Amino acid sequence: MDEIKLSDDVFEQIKDFNYRKLTEEQESLIDKLITDKELKERYKNFKQNFKNWTSVNHDVDEFIQKAQLNARNFDQTIEWIEYDKFKDVEYLAEGGFGTTFKAVWKDGPKVTLKCLHNSQDITADFF
């Protein structure tokens, strides 16, 4: 896919969009900017699904949602998945910010899980 560079004018228009509550004008602008049909479909699916999940932390939800909307391919996608949707969870390593596991997502592929230490206290600054 060819890289598209946004003008400063367009970037200023979209950088502060509230992706949870886009106006019709904002939806139209994004629709024009996303020319790849697969990417456009993925964007719409993610946006429609926002109301169906929550981490119960607004900052985490917002981080995941922005990451989903900005992902250029499937491998860059992150999602909030409830723990009971995983099987074969195995410990991998402990780090400064949390513990890493590998697992099989019952509705998807093998995944890496990160359990963040003191995650109930995470703020937007962490991301």
Q: What is the 3-state secondary structure (H, E, C) of the chain?
A: CCCCCCCHHHHHHHCCCCCCCCCHHHHHHHHHHCCCHHHHHHHHHHHHHHHHCCCCCHHHHHHHHHHHHHCCCHHHCCCCCCHHHEEEEEEEEECCCEEEEEEEECCCCEEEEEEECCHHHCCHHHC
- Each residue's pLDDT expressed in tens, for the chain with a length of 127 residues: 555 666 777 667 776 776 666 777 877 777 777 666 767 777 778 888 888 889 888 888 988 888 887 777 666 778 888 889 999 999 999 998 899 999 999 988 898 998 888 877 777 777 7
Q: What is the pLDDT of residue 27?
A: 74
* pTM, 2 dp: 0.59
